[in-house]
């Protein structure tokens, strides 16, 4: 999974994200094996996953886990690898909002 720091336009879509003292939140996007797109946001307070599914209307999925640093968030994302299904996020602890 390729993470990058927020751009100006990312802040428009995810204005509630919080930055670390030394970095903006991280964002990644991709597509599952079934063609469904997804966006993942990691910030100091946890993670938000939005997929092209009906749960997107309610805010997607959240992971309630504090990331103490950008390195901590990147290490977590590395454990996810390149997810092929939403289920891989659910196994990691993501829950519907």
Residue-number span of the structural domain to which 37 is assigned: 4-96
Rounded average pLDDT over 52-58: 96
pLDDT digits (tens, 9 = 90+) for 3-18: 999 999 999 999 999 9
Q: Which residues contact 74 (CB under 8 A, 6 or more apart)?
A: 3, 26
pTM: 0.95
The domain tally of the chain equals: 1
Q: What is the structure's pLDDT at 43?
A: 98
Please say whether the beta carbons of 44 and 20 come within 8 A. yes
């Amino acid at each position: 999974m390729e993470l990058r720091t927020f751009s100006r336009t990312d802040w428009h879509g995810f204005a509630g994200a919080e930055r670390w003292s030394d970095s903006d939140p991280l964002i990644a996007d991709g597509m599952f094996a079934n063609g469904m797109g997804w966006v993942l946001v990691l910030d100091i307070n946890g993670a938000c996953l939005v997929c092209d599914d009906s749960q997107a209307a309610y805010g997607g999925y959240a992971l309630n886990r504090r990331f103490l640093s950008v390195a901590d968030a990147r290490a977590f994302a590395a454990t996810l690898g390149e997810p092929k299904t939403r289920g891989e996020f659910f196994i990691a602890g993501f829950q519907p909002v």
